[in-house]
Structure formats: structure tokens, C-alpha cells
Amino acid sequence: MLNQSTILITGGTGSFGHTFVPMTLARYNPRKLIVYSRDEMKQWEMAKLFRGDERVRFFIGDVRDRERMYRALDGVDYVVHAAATKIVPTAEYNPFECVKTNVNGAMNVIDACIDRRVKGVVALSTDKASSPVNLYGATKLASDKLFVAGNSYAGVDGCKFSVVRYGNVMGSRGSVIPFFLTQKGKGSLPVTDARMTRFMISLEQGVELVWHAFEDMEGGEIYVKKIPSMKVTDIALAVDPEAQHEIVGIRPGEKLHEQMISPEDAYYTYEYPEHFKILPAIHSWHEDFKRIKDGRRVPAGFTYASDNNTEWMDVSALQAWIAQHQDKIGRI
């Protein structure tokens, strides 16, 4: 599907884009891959990594700017929507700005993709969109709903919109692993709550989920990758086995456990070997066999959360991952 196509990724200079672009170039050999973002310095630095590869193009723009989106999407076949304001405290203190990017920006992407006759769009979501307790999560829930409903506006033969949802990306900027590494050897590590758990996923797994969504989607699906969980105390133990744990309390807007499928979503959710799909409640799309395929409906009241997970990552596995990715941690 993506072979010899033109692909655009919004927010493409971020962590996800830095993994998606080289992996997609190698796997699918697209005719053109356009990195759309608003930070010229990040584009300048990223362009150095792909110097000489004429398939990679860079386009300055903001998803808030509807006219610029229309211009950028000329001739584009597929879009990955990765642009977002996503740091929880930043969103709490700058709520209007978060809404402008995550909600208004989503509407701009949807409208432009429909009008420009883009074939398919996959939008990146987050565990925080499931039963949200902070503004970032609430805006991403709104964004998810917008992309699902976008299929109604596009029509039967128009652009298809779907969403992928995953949790904590291991080693990403601002996340707990690089933070703990900066505190290693100081004798203690600040832990928010000894009961806290988190999902663990690599960016490579996130990219593969996006690829799967493009291949599988009929429109309106929310894809949830099956990934392991880990206790925050075990993450700290993996980074510095000798450190004491200083309990500092949960930050405003932070959850004790991550959730990706709520009990309310269970009625519309189907299970597959490596992922779940939350199907749209609207238009009875959750009963559509083309969307269900070979899925098995989950039990009533089912939840997929980091504390009730059946798969767990142990300390030695995380230590092996850290050793293998030492040069990238905190920069992805």
C-alpha cells in the first residue's frame, strides 16, 4: 500500500518521526516522504540525517494553519498525524494552546485530507485519552472522536481515518528512564508512588502498529497494541539497583495506572493475537464484518490497563534494553 506512494507526517521532527521516517523508507520505498512541522531548527538538524535522499522533503507549517495544511497535502496519498501538544503540565498551564493544536489542528487535518482526496490517515493517540483525567488526555479523546467521525464526512469512497493508541514510549525525551539515568549514582531515586505501573513500548513497535493500521483499516478503528507493563519501582531498580526510593507523590493530572481500553469501550472492542481494535459506536460500524475480520469480542466490563495486564517486563529485560539503546535514550 505505501510502496511508491507520497506520505506526509505531521509533527515529523518529533520522536516518532525520527523512527518512522527511516523505517518507512527502508520498508516501503515511498516516492516521497514529507516531514511537516513548525520548528525550522529541528527540520534543519533532521535534514542532515537524510542528505542525498531525494525522497525526503521538509515542509514548514503548523496543523493550526488550515491553508498551509491544504498546500502541504497537494498530491499526498497517506498521512500520519503525529503533531500534538503532549506534556501534561504544559497542557494544564496552557490549556488554550493545547486545544488549538490537539483539537483545532485535528479538524484542520481532517478537512484538508478529505478535500485533497488523501487515501488514508492514521492519527497517533495516547493511553491518556482513555478515561482522561487531564487536559491533554481530554483533547486527545476529542481528537480520536474527530478522526473516527471523519469517515462519515469522507463518504464511502473517500479518505479513511483511523487511530493508533499506545502508552509510555521507553527512553523518550521527558520520560522516566532518561530521568532516572540522570539521577543514577546519587543514592536515591524519586518515585511518585510505589504502586504505580506503566505500559512499555518501543518506538519501533509504534511504527509497526501504524503500518498495520494502514493495511488493515476500513475507517474508524482505534488500534491498541498489546505491550508489557512494569512497576515504576522496578524501572528504578533496573536503572540503579543500589538506590533508595524516595516517594514524592503523584503530579497533578497524573494517573496511578495507565489505561488504553475502558469498560465503556469494551462493548465495541475485539481482540487479535497482537492487538485490540475499538470499533466505532456510530453507524453500527462495530457490527461490520469488514472491520471485525477474525477478531474475538472481549468480555463485558473488560479493561486494558497497566495494572491488570497479563504481560510484564522484568528488571533484567529492561536492563538489556537500556544497554542496547544507551546512545538513543533521552534523545528519541
| Other Cβ atoms within 10 Å of 44 Cβ, number | 11
Question: Exactly one of 128, 226, 231, 255 is catalytic; which is it?
Answer: 128
Q: What is the C-alpha to C-alpha distance for residues 127 and 252, in angstroms, rounded to an integer?
A: 17
Residue 119 known to be catalytic? no
Phi, psi dihedrals of residue 226, rounded to the nearest 5°: -80, 120
Residue type, 208: E
Which among 134, 146, 96 has a CA at the least distance from the CA of 255?
A: 134
- CA-CA-CA-CA dihedral for 25, 27, 31, 37, to nearest 10: -40
| Other Cβ atoms within 10 Å of 57 Cβ, number | 16
Residues recognised as catalytic:
128
